[in-house]
């Protein structure tokens, strides 16, 4: 950008031509694919619609199975280009976290009859601008028939999303669900455990929600969690009552990894989980996450500083 000094400052925008931009994108793709021909990592490059349009036209991307476009400037119009790309029809993993996606663009994807990304097994949409209403539509969309892992954390997922998951017959292969830093409470969890989706899950991440003792007790008493192996419940204002319910749960007996740090329980709840007689398959148990120097099992952290506001 050139600056002309004088009475008025004038700026000459040094925007690359389409040909120059195309060359840069092709070079970036080639460099990224050199180490792993099926994995394309292009995060943090300020890519927007122009770059995405050039990317999906590149003959180099036909072999790509994993595409990471996180932390860019991808908005709804660029998303439309992505989901209709024939060259990406075999894509299995797509990371679009930390972009500028809104309800409008993702709703168009959820209801699109032209979307060709029907082979996605992993989809990351975390930290965009999506509301609870939109996420409820997304989890009921038929456009993700083989999806195994979905991350919609760090947005406005709330009880509407949980209720939609509880009613959904879509995503029949979903095994891993991330709803971190969302707004789901006990009522939402009650709706979620009544459906088919949670019964198929092997990993559920509910870190930094609003479950409280009510939500913990709902999970502890659910009858369809036999496949669940990994459960994240840190930062959920769970007290002794909820921790005791989890520690004595027979429904969660298949768990191998349990994360309960940064909650409100004291020695009673911690002891119930640590000395559990029902969670006999645990290989990893986190009761405290180095927030305090308090010895022993007790967790006296302050989750109100770490979770979403009431």
Q: Is the pLDDT of residue 301 over 50?
A: no
For the chain, the domains span 130-305
Rounded CA-CA distance 108/302 in Å is 40
Rounded CA-CA distance 290/6 in Å is 58
Query: Per-residue pLDDT tens for 181-229?
Result: 999 999 999 999 999 999 999 999 999 999 999 999 999 999 999 999 9
More confident residue, 224 or 293: 224
- pLDDT the model gives residue 10: 53
Q: Is the pLDDT of residue 5 over 50?
A: no
Mean pLDDT of 229-245: 97
At residue 247 the predicted structure's pLDDT band, cuts being 50, 70 and 90, is: very high
Does residue 120 contact residue 93 with C-beta atoms inside 8 Å?
yes
Query: Per-residue pLDDT tens for 17-26?
Result: 878 899 999 9
Share of the chain above pLDDT 70, in %: 89
Q: Is the pLDDT of residue 138 over 70?
A: yes
Q: Does domain 130-305 have CATH number 3.30.70.120?
A: no
Q: What is the DSSP string of 91-155?
A: --EEE--SS--BHHHHHHHHH-SS---TT-SEEE--SSB--HHHHHHHTT-TT-TT--EEE--SS
Rounded to the nearest integer, the mean pLDDT of the chain is 90
At residue 290 the predicted structure's pLDDT band, cuts being 50, 70 and 90, is: low
Q: Is the pLDDT of residue 6 over 60?
A: no
Rounded CA-CA distance 85/305 in Å is 43
Q: At what angle do helices 240-247 and 212-221 cross, to 10 degrees?
A: 10
Q: Which of 33, 109, 23 is nearest to 65 (CA)?
A: 33
- pLDDT the model gives residue 305: 39
Query: Per-residue pLDDT tens for 161-181?
Result: 999 999 999 999 999 999 999
Rounded CA-CA distance 146/174 in Å is 8
Beta bridge partners of 49: none
Q: Which two tokens stand for residue 94?
A: 């797509």
């Amino acid at each position: 950008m050139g600056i002309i000094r004088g009475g008025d400052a004038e700026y000459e925008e040094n925007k690359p031509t389409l040909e120059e931009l195309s060359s840069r994108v092709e070079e970036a793709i080639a460099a990224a694919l050199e180490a792993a021909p099926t994995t394309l990592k292009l995060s943090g490059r300020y890519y927007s619609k122009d770059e995405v349009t050039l990317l999906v036209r590149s003959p180099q991307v036909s072999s790509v199975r994993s595409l990471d476009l996180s932390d860019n400037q991808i908005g709804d119009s660029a998303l439309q280009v992505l989901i209709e790309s024939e060259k990406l029809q075999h894509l299995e993993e797509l990371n679009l976290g930390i972009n500028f996606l809104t309800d409008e663009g993702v709703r168009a994807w959820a209801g699109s009859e032209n979307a060709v990304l029907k082979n996605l097994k992993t989809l990351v949409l975390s930290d965009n601008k999506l509301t609870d209403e939109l996420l409820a539509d997304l989890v009921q969309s038929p456009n993700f028939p083989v999806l195994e892992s979905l991350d919609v954390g760090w947005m406005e997922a709330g009880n509407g999303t949980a209720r939609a998951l509880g009613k959904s017959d879509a995503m029949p292969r979903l095994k891993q669900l991330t709803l971190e830093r969302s707004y789901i409470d006990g009522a939402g969890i009650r709706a979620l455990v009544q459906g088919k989706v949670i019964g198929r899950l092997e990993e559920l991440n509910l870190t930094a929600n609003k479950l409280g003792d009510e939500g913990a007790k709902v999970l502890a008493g659910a009858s369809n969690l036999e496949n669940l192996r990994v459960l994240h419940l840190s930062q959920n204002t769970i007290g002794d009552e909820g921790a005791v319910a989890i520690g004595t749960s027979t429904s969660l007996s298949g768990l191998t990894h349990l994360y309960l740090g940064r909650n409100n329980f004291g020695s009673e709840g911690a002891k119930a989980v640590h000395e559990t007689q029902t969670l006999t398959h645990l290989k990893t148990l986190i009761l405290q996450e180095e927030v305090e120097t308090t010895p022993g099992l007790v967790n006296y952290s302050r989750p109100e500083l770490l979770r979403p506001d009431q």
